[in-house]
């Protein structure tokens, strides 16, 4: 289960996605305050289904929107896109309403909290009854629909002052009175069964968020009425179109003005690009993601192009149009088009992308700051526990590695602010001893390291850690004294058996708590130095083995052996190497000698 305390959430309106360990979206929700809503799930729950869902959450994504209305529409889009399992499992507990198109001869369209598996169509669930009622009012004004099973007497039909039924003429000539409409006896609102079924088709389109087809249908009707000089009917259709436009203008989340396109928001600092991607299909936002990528010194355009194409591939986007806050003409390739919108809904989409991106960047900064603060606390405690002269922000650790005195090597790893700084790691091949002698080897490596540091004027570490007991620590201290820097640096040794901490000139070790963060940090640094030394030792042993075997090949000298080792790294790779590659590296004559030598050795 995720630790909600470590997640920084905005108080803005928007949509949140709960994701499990398999990267599946298991729940989508919306709120006018993402922070309050999401954190409410992690309080003590009496609902077993919610508790089960919370235990599955390993990641939380969110999309910030401009309004709660936009959040509602985006939530509905994402539920349709991902079909999250807990949106289905929890719907009964929360009794979210659905819009039902009833499976009947004259389908009713109505809001319900009961999902009955009887072949009827259900749209939703919706989390905001007010908003969906607003949409149903728009639908009812454009396409008068049967709302209930009321039957009315002829007396009520003839009453001009009463609300009476919608009259539908069926194919067999009989009239059916349905729903509510204000009608007069002189101007009855007559509708054929075919027209009613066609209206249901367009209502279905609206509920699916596809306003474009509905508008095209209404526009065609309006032009036909106008062409036939039926201006009153044409005006009536125009008013219906205006209703749809007014409803859509409230939101940039569902708007067929920008049918299919991708939105790319990009901001940068000295080291990183921060990129937000939004996918829009059929005028609806159905995907969003933010990411960070490190800048490279070269091929910046190629790098950005690859990131954009990877995002399009991940979200299966076939859209050819991209809008962004920066010009992408020199970055994109193929038939992709891009531009920077200055005003209007597309500009609002880009602004929405940047709003999400800025919060993403802030969140990353806060996480980094939190980690750094935690490490600082550990470093301060380490200073106090070991009575060091200063907080050990800069720590260097040494380790010696050898087998039977051969290929003795040493490693030095550097930790800055409690984190490894791998660019500053150093490895050493011991020159002064040809037998197993960790003490002399330690003297040599400490001498080489700090002679260079002093010569180049680089900063000395706040703490030196020696991987070993009193003997290795004493050798290192003696060399620091010879270099006249002993009193300027804290130095300790750590013995492996009991994880004891040794100080110079003190025979009694210090034991830190086995589960303490201070000991964990020292162990982490020591283990990293050991790993780095072992890897270097293995590399040298491998090279020595290759070198000795290649010496058996007549006519292959030191320089050629060196080239082969660097190029292939192992005897097996040399044996498997292509003849052309060998000729290119060492020439035809030497290639023949190498091939002849290995072909003469019996296999197995």
- Residue spans of the domains in the chain: they are 4-94, 129-209, 256-361, 394-530, 551-600
Identify the pLDDT of residue 492: 94
pLDDT tens per residue, range 511-536: 888 888 899 999 999 999 988 888 87
Place domain 4-94 in its CATH homologous superfamily: GIY-YIG endonuclease (3.40.1440.10)
Q: Which residue has the higher pLDDT, 336 or 150?
A: 336
Give yes or no on whether 256-361 and 394-530 have one common fold.
Answer: yes
Quote the crossing angle between the two packed helices 129-142 and 68-82, to the nearest 10°.
80
pLDDT range class, residue 602, cuts 50, 70, 90: low
Rounded to an integer, the average pLDDT of 157-179 is 42
Identify the pLDDT of residue 372: 65
Identify the pLDDT of residue 154: 36
Return the beta strands (E) in 547-601 as ranges: none
Q: Which residues of 463-499 are buried (b: 16+ CB within 10 A; e: fewer)?
A: bbbbbbbbebbbbbbbbbeebeeeeebbbbbbbeeee
125 preceded by cis ω (within 30°)? yes
| Whether CATH 3.30.420 fits 256-361 | yes
Identify the pLDDT of residue 163: 38
Strand partners, 400: 410
Closest CA to 354 of 326, 331, 332: 326
Structural contact between residues 375 and 419, judged by C-beta atoms closer than 8 angstroms? yes
Query: Is residue 255 predicted with pLDDT exceeding 60?
Result: no
pLDDT tens per residue, range 545-569: 555 567 667 778 878 877 887 787 6
Identify the pLDDT of residue 483: 94
Dist CA 4 CA 180 (whole Å): 50
Query: Is residue 91 predicted with pLDDT exceeding 70?
Result: no
Identify the pLDDT of residue 409: 85
> What does residue 395 show for φ and ψ, rounded to 5 degrees?
-120, 135
Identify the pLDDT of residue 512: 87
**CATH number at 551-600:** 1.10.150
Closest CA to 77 of 89, 66, 91, 63: 63
Taking the model in full, what pTM does it have? 0.39
Identify the pLDDT of residue 486: 93
Rounded to an integer, the average pLDDT of 225-253 is 76
Query: Is residue 476 predicted with pLDDT exceeding 90?
Result: yes
Q: What is the mean pLDDT of the chain?
A: 78
Sign, CA dihedral 209-213-216-220, equals negative
Cα 145 to chain centroid, rounded: 45
Percentage above 70 pLDDT, the chain = 77
Distances (CA, A) of 411 to 401, 408, 478, 534: 8, 11, 19, 9
- CATH class for domain 394-530? alpha beta
């Amino acid at each position: 289960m995720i630790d909600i305390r470590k997640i920084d959430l905005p108080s803005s309106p928007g949509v949140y996605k709960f994701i499990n360990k398999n990267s599946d979206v298991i729940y989508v929700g919306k709120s006018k305050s993402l922070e309050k809503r999401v954190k409410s799930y992690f309080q003590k729950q009496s609902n077993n289904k919610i508790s089960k869902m919370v235990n599955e959450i390993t990641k939380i994504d969110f999309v910030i929107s401009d309004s709660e209305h936009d959040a509602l529409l985006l939530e509905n889009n994402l539920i349709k896109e991902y079909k999250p399992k807990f949106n289905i499992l929890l719907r009964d507990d929360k009794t979210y309403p659905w819009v039902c198109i009833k499976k009947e001869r004259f389908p009713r369209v109505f809001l319900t909290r009961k999902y009955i598996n009887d072949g009827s169509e259900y749209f939703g669930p919706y989390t905001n009854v007010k908003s969906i009622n607003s949409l149903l009012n728009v639908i009812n004004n454009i396409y008068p629909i049967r709302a209930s099973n009321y039957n009315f007497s002829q007396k009520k039909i003839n009453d001009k002052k009463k609300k009476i039924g919608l009259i539908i003429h069926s194919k067999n000539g009989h009239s059916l009175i349905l729903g509510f409409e204000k009608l007069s006896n002189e101007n009855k609102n007559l509708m054929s069964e075919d027209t009613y079924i066609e209206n249901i088709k367009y209502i279905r389109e609206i509920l699916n968020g596809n306003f474009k087809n509905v508008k095209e249908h209404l526009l065609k009707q309006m032009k036909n009425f106008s062409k036939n000089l039926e201006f009153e009917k044409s005006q009536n259709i125009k008013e219906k179109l205006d209703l749809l436009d007014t409803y859509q203008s409230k939101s940039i989340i569902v708007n067929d003005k920008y049918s299919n396109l991708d939105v790319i928001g990009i901001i940068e600092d000295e080291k990183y690009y921060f990129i937000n991607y939004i996918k829009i299909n059929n005028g609806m936002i159905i995907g969003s993601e933010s990411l960070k990528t490190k800048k490279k010194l070269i091929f910046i355009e190629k790098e950005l192009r690859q990131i954009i194409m990877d995002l399009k591939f991940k979200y299966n986007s076939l859209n050819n149009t991209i809008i962004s806050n920066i010009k992408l003409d020199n970055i994109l390739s193929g038939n992709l088009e891009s531009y920077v919108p200055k005003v209007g809904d597309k500009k609002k989409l880009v602004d929405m992308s940047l709003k999400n991106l800025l919060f993403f960047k802030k969140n990353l900064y806060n996480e980094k700051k939190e980690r750094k603060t935690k490490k600082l606390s550990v470093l301060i405690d380490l200073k106090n526990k070991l009575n060091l002269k200063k907080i050990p922000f800069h720590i260097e650790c040494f380790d010696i590695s050898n087998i039977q005195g051969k290929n003795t090597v040493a490693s030095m790893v550097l930790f800055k602010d409690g984190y490894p700084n791998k660019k500053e790691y150093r490895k050493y091949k011991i020159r002064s001893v040809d037998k197993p002698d960790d003490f002399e080897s330690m003297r040599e490596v400490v001498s080489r390291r700090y002679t260079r540091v002093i010569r180049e004027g680089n900063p000395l570490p706040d703490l030196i850690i020696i991987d070993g007991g009193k003997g290795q620590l004493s050798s290192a201290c003696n060399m620091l004294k010879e270099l006249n820097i002993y009193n300027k640096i804290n130095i300790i040794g750590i013995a492996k058996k009991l994880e004891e901490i040794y100080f110079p000139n003190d025979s009694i070790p210090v034991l830190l708590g086995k589960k303490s963060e201070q000991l964990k940090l020292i162990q982490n640094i020591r283990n990293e130095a050991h790993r780095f030394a072992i890897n270097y030792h293995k590399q040298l042993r491998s090279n020595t083995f290759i070198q000795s075997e290649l010496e058996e090949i007549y006519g292959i000298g030191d320089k050629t052996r060196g080239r082969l080792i660097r190029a292939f790294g192992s005897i097996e790779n040399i044996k498997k190497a292509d003849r052309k590659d060998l000729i290119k590296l060492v020439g035809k004559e030497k290639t023949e000698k190498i091939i002849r030598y290995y072909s003469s050795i019996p296999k197995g």
